[in-house]
Amino acid sequence: MQISNGLIFDLNEGFVSRELYTSGSMISVSSDPDTIVDASDCYVIPGLIDLHFHGCCGEDFSDASPEGLQTMADYELANGITYICPAGMTLPEEQLIKLCQNAARHQKTALSGAELVGINLEGPFLSHAKKGAQNGEYLREPNLELLNRLQVESNHLVKLVTVAPELPGALDFIREAKGVTVSLGHTAADYDTAAAAFKAGAKQATHLYNGMIPLHHRNPGVIGAAFDCPEAKVELICDGIHIHPSTIRLTFQIYGKERVILISDTLRAAGMPDGKYTLGGQDVVVHGNRATLAENPDTLAGSATNLMDCMRTAISFGIPLADAVRAATYNPAQALGLEDRIGTLDVGKDATMILLNKNDLSIRNIIFHGAIL
């Protein structure tokens, strides 16, 4: 396949005018194309990667439903999110095991939809003080044995785990956790505690600003500690609800385009009308893009905006197109340890890309593993 006349995303140069070739499911140096795709008036970008979302289309990853996970994967792919790492909530151990088993089964048997590339354990190792929409009944201290059991049940799909570093045993957990990225979140940790956690091996902050103490000039908390750890990346929910546009711009400026990961944090209401839904066994009310706990309307409960729309929102806030694309593709690929396979349009990577119309960033074509959908 040959993709012609488009502006191709390049990690170092932004967007460049060049031909792009695929051979089978891979991007190639050149080919004798049997298909030519005209990308005139299009940006050609890698498929998006959402490493933190809970559900969509009335389904939730935590339900551990095979049909529900397939519905989620189909919706994500249709919206240009080609690789997914769905997130579980704070749940009883038996339900965490079920969602891990469901993900492992799906990865082996799925015939359609976005590719499942990991599991994100947002709970249960979180702080009661900053639990947000997590179910406090099932919160627990960091437990390496539980993490290892879930890794086995998931066929080692667990790629991310959120930890409140002030909890007993948290620093030892962070030092000893292998094969996962530890992210700090749902935490009341002060700067020193968060800095110690990053020094111990944490590499990410879960939905920065949300579920943590705010940035204060005498106690910058996780926000400041993440800034002072050059290896740490930070997640941003860019739905226009969770974070003010000015703060989005500030975050890209101070952390740099290399360290920001756009996430959606969607719940099952994404792609659905306003109404009442559930998240982690708790009732949620959705009006437009805003989702809140029914019993506490001041507590946000995830979002209803998919990652492609979050990326468009970031761009509308003034984030340069190439920076927003990077934050939704290459940076999450790095966080998942998959940057050698996905996240850019370099030769040898997966031939998965989205053609976006220049005028409104709507999707013209989706090419997934070398096939035009």
Measure the CA–CA gap between 88 and 267, rounded to whole angstroms.
11
Give the closest residue to 269 by CA, choosing from 245, 243, 300: 300
Q: Is the peptide bond before 230 cis (omega within 30 degrees of 0)?
A: no
Catalytic residue flag (residue 298): no
CB half-sphere exposure, 288, CA atoms < 13 A: 4
Query: What is each CA distance from 153 to 139, 157, 198, in whole angstroms?
Result: 20, 9, 28
**Dihedral sign from CA coordinates of 148, 99, 56, 142:** negative
**What's the CA dihedral at 203, 163, 86, 270 to 10 degrees?**
-110
Q: Provide the H-helix boundaries in the chain.
A: 66-78, 93-109, 144-153, 170-176, 191-200, 221-227, 245-255, 307-316, 321-328, 330-335
Phi, psi torsion values for 332, nearest 5 degrees: -65, -35
> Out of 63, 190, 265, 323, which one is annotated catalytic?
265
**Distance of alpha carbon 286 from the chain centroid:** 21
- Distance in angstroms (rounded) separating the CA atoms of residues 343 and 332: 8
Sign of the CA dihedral with 103 first, then 355, 52, and 118 last: positive
- 3-state helix, strand, coil split of the chain in percent (to 5) is 30, 30, 45
Q: What single DSSP character describes residue 9?
A: E
Beta sheet of 296-303, edge-to-edge order: 275-279, 282-287, 290-293, 296-303
By annotation, the residues acting in catalysis are 265
